[in-house]
Amino acid sequence: MSDLFPVVRTLDHVMIEAEDPTVLFRLFVEGFGLPVAWEFGDYGDLWSGGVCAGNLNLEFGRFKEKRFGSLDIWEGSEGSARFGGLAFEPTMPITEVISVLSEWGVPFGSGIASENWTELEVKGLLDAPGIVFLAEYHFDRDAWQVSHRDAFAASGGGSLGLIGVQEIQIGARDVDEAAPAWDRFLCDIPKADAGAWRLAESLALRLVPWGKDEVASLVLRVKSVGRTMAFLEEAGIPALETLDGVALDPSVTQGLHFQLVDAGTAVS
């Protein structure tokens, strides 16, 4: 991969789309006590709110009409949600990324520009309606993120005792077939092991067998699964025991898969 010029610096945030995204936004802010990264509101093309999960922001939103230039209003069932996409921070301005992707022969969208950011969809990594995109910010993104992390530290990880996101699990119909495209896209990101990339010290993106090419699950690190379970039981929030820890019941998360594991747990 040494002949490829890297376009990805790190993962910026995970986009979660829902029929009513305010339900999940309130669950993570009011139910789990995590700090708001940006208030839920009207941001032009979509309604959106962000929550800081320690080392990564989670965006809960719903597009009004178009998603990255394509007609695709919400078509999920009532009360459902999906991991809609992954936003990566680029190593260079989007205008230069376009030249690199063109040279690679990687398809991409037309791009979306606003006063505060420019976004570019990178195609061929996830099945529709999943989106992988690069987000270039026109303000001091690093200082903005520091403020989020400070608020998270002050929260003590909220009621879950959250430390951060440990893994983003990307489902693939065939992991071996999907890996080369991700290798190219993440060409400067170190490999944690086969089918996994180390996006940060304690954050990995991992390909896992799945029925579709889509974001399948988020694995969250907590200080103590036992203490987290005690909170969930007291709060009346259903959860399911797993081999690695506990998973929030999909009935609470509108069908999404969130696993909670002790810090340092290797997820199978």
82, 217 Cβ separation under 8 angstroms: no
Q: What are phi and psi of 110, to 5 degrees?
A: -80, -15
For the domain 8-146, what is the CATH code?
Answer: 3.10.180.10
Buried residues in 108-126 as b, exposed as e (16+ CB within 10 A): bbebbeeeebbbbbbeebb
Per-residue model confidence as pLDDT tens digits over 91-128: 999 999 999 999 999 999 978 888 889 999 999 999 99
Mean pLDDT of 46-66: 94
Q: How far apart are CA 83 and CA 57, in angstroms?
A: 13
Whether the pLDDT of residue 2 is over 60: the answer is no
Confidence of residue 266 (pLDDT cuts 50, 70, 90): low
Per-residue model confidence as pLDDT tens digits over 198-243: 998 789 999 999 999 999 999 999 999 999 999 999 999 999 999 8
91, 188 Cβ separation under 8 angstroms: yes
Give the 3-state secondary structure of residue 61: strand
Q: How far apart are CA 147 and CA 144, in angstroms?
A: 5
Q: How far apart are CA 17 and CA 99, in angstroms?
A: 30
Give the 3-state secondary structure of residue 38: strand
Q: How far apart are CA 159 and CA 168, in angstroms?
A: 22
Domain segments of the chain: what residues?
A: 8-146, 156-262
In CATH terms, are 8-146 and 156-262 the same topology?
yes
Please tell me what DSSP assigns to residue 86: E
State residue 71's pLDDT score: 65
Q: Please report where in the chains the tokens 């060409």 appear, as a residue.
A: 187
Angle at 136 between CA 103 and CA 128, to 5 degrees: 70
Side chain identity, residue 127: D
- Model-level pTM? 0.94
Per-residue model confidence as pLDDT tens digits over 179-198: 999 999 999 899 988 889 99
State residue 1's pLDDT score: 42
Q: Tell me whether the omega of the peptide bond preceding residue 190 falls within 30 degrees of 0, making it cis.
A: no
For the domain 156-262, what is the CATH code?
Answer: 3.10.180.10
Per-residue model confidence as pLDDT tens digits over 5-55: 899 999 999 999 999 999 999 999 999 999 999 999 998 889 999 999 999
